[in-house]
Amino acid sequence: MMEQYFALKREAGDCLLFYRMGDFFELFFDDAKAASQVLDIALTSRGEHGGDPVPMCGVPVHAAEAYLARLIKAGCRVAIAEQVETPEEAKARGGAKALVRRDIVRFVTAGTLTEEALLEPRRANMLAAICELRGTIGIAACDISTGRMELEECASEGLGAALARLGASEVVAPEDWEGAPPDAIPRARSQFASEEGEARLKALHGVATLDGFGAFTRAMFAAAGGLVAYLDHVGRGTLPFLLPPVMRSGAERLAMDEATRASLEILAAQQGGRQGSLVAAIDRCVTGAGARQLAEDLSAPLTDAPAIEARLALVHYFHEEPLLRADLREVLRGAPDIGRALGRIVAGRGSPRDLGQVRDGLSEARRIRDHLQARADRPALLEELLPSLGGHGALVDLLSRALVPSPPTERGQGGFIAEGYDHALDELRAASGNARRAIAALEARYRDETGIAALKIRHNGVLGYFIEVPARHGDRLMAADSGFTHRQTMANAVRFNSLQLHEEASRIAEAGGHALAAEEAHFEELTGAVNGAREAIAATAAALARIDVAAGQAERAAEGGWCRPRIVEDCCLEIRGGRHPVVEAALARAGERFVANDCALSPADRLWLIGGPNMGGKSTFLRQNALIVLLAQAGGFVPAESATIGLVDRLFSRVGASDNLARGRSTFMVEMVETAAILAQATERSFVILDEVGRGTSTYDGLALAWAVVEAVHGANRCRCLFATHYHELSRLAETCEALSLHHVRAREWKGDLVLLHELASGPADRSYGLAVARLAGVPARVVSRAKAVLDKLEQGRAQTGGLAAGLGDLPLFAAIPDEPAEARDPLRERLEALDVDALSPREALDLLYQLKRDAMATGD
């Protein structure tokens, strides 16, 4: 057995090997150690190898999916080795001791899942293959759960951004390529051959040329070759669902690099997870497919005004029609995820239930089409989508006639083909039904004949049908002429067979076997029919998803009073009453209100420098404007009273290192690398937000860098930019930079406390509120007043000599500052604090209370 195991393990490579033994998948050696850790199951051992016991653990086959899910989540890949012959076949082949043959039937990896239980309904699951060809990087990506496939190419600097956009759960790359990301799965270089890739795609889609799908390049084909080869390997020769590739070009999409995506928390919050992200705050989709489409829209917003307007018009249409929207969403809510059901069927992993889902989803789509078609004034995008919703008449009809209303997930048991679809099948079922009835009649007759009222005919998996009587009646039926043959004696029952029972049972078994075979044949024919219409079904799924996104965006807009943005070509950004959707929602949960703010950038005033106290709302303001741009270009309404958005080609967001400790890896170096990327890439059409950049180092360095960055952004990149800073000194830049203006978040001191108004105003911040913020944060009063003394001295010194520390010489030492004044202490309070209440009797307590009250009245005035 070990020999077979090692051979399979060699094939499995670095995947965990699930080795089928009876009702279990067993793991051995290091695989067993790793799996038992991740799954928290017992590690045992079995036999020995090289003198040492062999570590082993196992999972039951029927529960394997749940275990697989956990292993995949933990980043493992698994090879499934099944028994590919029965023990009888093995014996016939190789004698009594022959080992059952096993083969790896499938690899389960994060990027190649189709199972409902292993996939997240609201997230696409991308697999990407990347490689370099003569200095250009080709990227091929697919979501095999729905068949989507796209090809693109980029320069090597753009790889990180492209991968960040795709968010692939698995990436494969040539093993000898040094530019591959560290977590990429290495594959043989020979698999990334462009001719082979092109040929595979042509064969897959039955075309002589791929020109009809797009102007693909060699690098893209090379990556596609690597992708298809990997899918081939993982599926052991069965390719999953792949739609014709779509060509992606960087220019059609709003470019955002990885740092920007992370900082804007588009699909995941910085601490990880969807909660607190942009998508979580705006997603009102009622279907998984809609949510996946929305996530894709947000990760790759458009740059083309007509395409954006088309989406906006659809959102607008549903926004103006709340009743239609409500009806539509109600229907969509019940519609199954046909895209993913189709993905399983095409991959050969479909179930009767998946067929049922396709049937129900397609007929819902037709209903939706009829509903929408009955209305006038439809926007162009809807008009374009409607035809995809219908057109499956014959298939829906076939599936409706063929399948029972809710088909099972298991196909081995049969029972999914509806009555009336196949007369031969109906007759087989009738025959076994008749035999069942005959058995019931037999039971009644035997009771009569034997006079044993407790006699029963029962069934189990081992004996099949049998007659059972209580033990005390057993002897009576044992008689040779009774017509019964003994089968089994239990503690309190005896079991028999009879000729008639045997006959009826065989009729059931035979009819059942034929019926199962008939259902199996129908299953093949139905999946074939679905397979034949796969591209049209995928188009229906995509159209439903797009409609769900638009209706969901309209719903969100109606909920929050959002507006339709105006998209223009000039380099402006005029937002009235803008809000941050995530911060606003968090404040609302705490019962607080968000203060809306305006932003007005134009070519003549394109760089805003924003000062003001910590916690004043600078970062929030910066981000809300970036998010509004992103939402608008994704084709949705925006959280503002009005918004005019000059199309943005690239969006950058940077947060100074010291403000960004949560990210852990952030250092001043990272901050500077990320800033350098902006200076190299931002164009006049770009929008940049810089939050406390330069803060990650000592004052003078940081200030100098911030100064130089602002100058460069203003003079060289000439992009629209919001720059939040705590350096007052930067205000001086307003004197030399003509398109720069000064702004601040307002605060007011009230009775010695700082009140943050979260309101943006023009002009420089008048003073630093650092000390007030410190007090707000609970820094002891004596430390704050000491800081105030230091600050006064510093400012005095700078006024006289221009040097920052010049005035510090005659500053009295810290210890010389008096401690809290004695009268601030409260003797009554101190006595109470010193009191041991448990040590007092009730009487003593009462006396003490009188005493305290007397003292209080004596000291008060």
Q: Return the one option of ligand ADP, Mg ion, none that residue 595 interacts with (CB less than 5 to 8 A, by type).
A: ligand ADP
Q: From the CB of 361, what's the least distance to ligand ADP, in Å?
A: 42
Q: Which two tokens stand for residue 346?
A: 């095409």
Q: Work out whether 718 is an interface residue with ligand ADP (CB under 6 A).
A: no
Q: From the CB of 734, what's the least distance to Mg ion, in Å?
A: 21
Nearer to ligand ADP (CB atom), residue 19 or residue 769: 769
Which residue has its beta carbon closest to ligand ADP?
A: 617
Q: From the CB of 617, what's the least distance to Mg ion, in Å?
A: 8
Q: Work out whether 624 is an interface residue with Mg ion (CB under 5 A).
A: no
Nearer to Mg ion (CB atom), residue 163 or residue 745: 745
Q: How many CA atoms lie within 13 A of 458 on its CB side?
A: 15
Work out which of 231, 295, 511, 595 binds ligand ADP, going by CB under 6 A.
595
3-state secondary structure of 609: strand
Are the CB atoms for 414 and 515 separated by under 8 Å?
yes
Q: From the CB of 299, what's the least distance to Mg ion, in Å?
A: 25
Q: Which amino acid is at 490?
A: M
Sites for ligand ADP among residues 804-843 (CB under 6 A): none
Among 66-74, 487-495, 511-519, 594-602, the segment contacting ligand ADP (CB under 6 A): 594-602
Are the CB atoms for 637 and 553 separated by under 8 Å?
yes
Q: From the CB of 616, what's the least distance to Mg ion, in Å?
A: 8
Question: 648-661 burial by CB neighbour count: b if 16+ within 10 A, else e?
Answer: bbbbbbbbbbbbbe
DSSP 731: G
Sites for ligand ADP among residues 431-470 (CB under 6 A): none
Among 128-136, 322-330, 583-591, 614-622, the segment contacting Mg ion (CB under 5 A): 614-622
C-alpha distances out from residue 198 to 216, 619, 765, Å = 9, 48, 60
Q: How many CB atoms lie within 10 A of CB 156?
A: 11
Q: From the CB of 729, what's the least distance to Mg ion, in Å?
A: 18
Q: From the CB of 642, what's the least distance to ligand ADP, in Å?
A: 17
Question: 391-407 burial by CB neighbour count: b if 16+ within 10 A, else e?
Answer: bbeebbebbbebbeeeb
For ligand ADP, what does the binding mask look like between residues 734 and 753, x meaning CB under 6 A? -----------x--------
Q: Work out whether 660 is an interface residue with ligand ADP (CB under 6 A).
A: no
Q: Work out whether 617 is an interface residue with ligand ADP (CB under 6 A).
A: yes
Are the CB atoms for 300 and 308 separated by under 8 Å?
no
Q: Which two tokens stand for residue 576?
A: 């009235």
Q: From the CB of 694, what's the least distance to ligand ADP, in Å?
A: 15
DSSP 418: P
C-alpha distances out from residue 190 to 141, 175, 223, 229, Å = 19, 10, 11, 10
Strands 136-143 and 148-154: antiparallel
Q: Work out whether 720 is an interface residue with ligand ADP (CB under 6 A).
A: no
Among 4-12, 46-54, 254-262, 610-618, the segment contacting Mg ion (CB under 5 A): 610-618
Q: Which two tokens stand for residue 475?
A: 């002897």
Q: Work out whether 616 is an interface residue with ligand ADP (CB under 6 A).
A: yes
Q: Work out whether 620 is an interface residue with ligand ADP (CB under 6 A).
A: yes
Among 75-83, 232-240, 276-284, 611-619, the segment contacting ligand ADP (CB under 6 A): 611-619
Q: From the CB of 751, what's the least distance to ligand ADP, in Å?
A: 21
Q: From the CB of 725, what's the least distance to Mg ion, in Å?
A: 10
Q: Work out whether 363 is an interface residue with ligand ADP (CB under 6 A).
A: no
Binding-site size, ligand ADP (CB under 6 A): 14
Q: Work out whether 572 is an interface residue with ligand ADP (CB under 6 A).
A: no
Among 30-38, 139-147, 496-504, 617-625, the segment contacting Mg ion (CB under 5 A): 617-625
Q: How many CB atoms lie within 10 A of CB 363?
A: 18
Distance of CA 785 to the CA centre of its chain: 50
Q: How many CA atoms lie within 13 A of 547 on its CB side?
A: 32
Q: Alpha-carbon Rg of the chain, whole angstroms?
A: 37
Which residue has its beta carbon closest to Mg ion?
A: 619
Distance of CA 782 to the CA centre of its chain: 50
Q: Return the one option of Mg ion, ligand ADP, none that residue 617 interacts with (CB less than 5 to 8 A, by type).
A: ligand ADP
Q: From the CB of 746, what's the least distance to ligand ADP, in Å?
A: 11
C-alpha distances out from residue 350 to 291, 341, 346, Å = 23, 7, 7
Q: From the CB of 756, what's the least distance to ligand ADP, in Å?
A: 7
Q: Return the one option of Mg ion, ligand ADP, none that residue 123 interacts with (CB less than 5 to 8 A, by type).
A: none
Q: From the CB of 258, what's the least distance to Mg ion, in Å?
A: 21
Q: Work out whether 594 is an interface residue with ligand ADP (CB under 6 A).
A: yes
684 membership: H or E segment, kind and range? none
49 membership: H or E segment, kind and range? strand 44-49
Q: What angle do CA 206, 209, 213 make, to 5 degrees?
A: 90
Q: From the CB of 692, what's the least distance to Mg ion, in Å?
A: 6
Nearer to ligand ADP (CB atom), residue 660 or residue 697: 660
User: Which residue, 415, 410, 451, is CA-closest to 432?
Assistant: 415
Are the CB atoms for 578 and 561 separated by under 8 Å?
no
3-state secondary structure of 726: coil
Q: Return the one option of ligand ADP, Mg ion, none that residue 594 interacts with (CB less than 5 to 8 A, by type).
A: ligand ADP
Are the CB atoms for 653 and 626 separated by under 8 Å?
yes
C-alpha distances out from residue 271 to 75, 265, 739, Å = 19, 9, 37
Beta carbons within 8 Å of 160's beta carbon, 6+ residues apart: 257, 258
Among 99-107, 334-342, 557-565, 589-597, the segment contacting ligand ADP (CB under 6 A): 589-597
Q: Return the one option of ligand ADP, Mg ion, none that residue 616 interacts with (CB less than 5 to 8 A, by type).
A: ligand ADP
Nearer to ligand ADP (CB atom), residue 463 or residue 615: 615
Q: Work out whether 636 is an interface residue with ligand ADP (CB under 6 A).
A: no
User: Which residue, 102, 119, 101, is CA-closest to 110?
Assistant: 119
Sites for ligand ADP among residues 263-322 (CB under 6 A): none
Q: Work out whether 583 is an interface residue with ligand ADP (CB under 6 A).
A: yes
Distance of CA 110 to the CA centre of its chain: 12
3-state secondary structure of 702: helix
Among 19-27, 308-316, 618-626, 817-825, the segment contacting Mg ion (CB under 5 A): 618-626
3-state secondary structure of 850: helix
Q: Work out whether 619 is an interface residue with Mg ion (CB under 5 A).
A: yes
Cα-Cα-Cα-Cα dihedral sign, residues 173, 175, 180, 185: positive
Nearer to Mg ion (CB atom), residue 225 or residue 612: 612
Q: Which two tokens stand for residue 761?
A: 């105003």
Work out which of 102, 495, 758, 775 binds ligand ADP, going by CB under 6 A.
758
User: Which residue, 375, 334, 311, is CA-closest to 554?
Assistant: 311
Nearer to ligand ADP (CB atom), residue 526 or residue 760: 760
Nearer to ligand ADP (CB atom), residue 359 or residue 695: 695
Among 159-167, 233-241, 608-616, 789-797, the segment contacting ligand ADP (CB under 6 A): 608-616
Strands 597-601 and 720-724: unpaired
Among 246-254, 346-354, 508-516, 611-619, the segment contacting Mg ion (CB under 5 A): 611-619
Strand order in the sheet with 493-498: 456-460, 464-470, 493-498, 484-489
For ligand ADP, what does the binding mask look like between residues 531 and 570, x meaning CB under 6 A? ----------------------------------------
Chain contacts with Mg ion (rule: CB under 5 A) = 618-619
Chain contacts with ligand ADP (rule: CB under 6 A) = 583, 587, 594-595, 597, 614-620, 745, 758
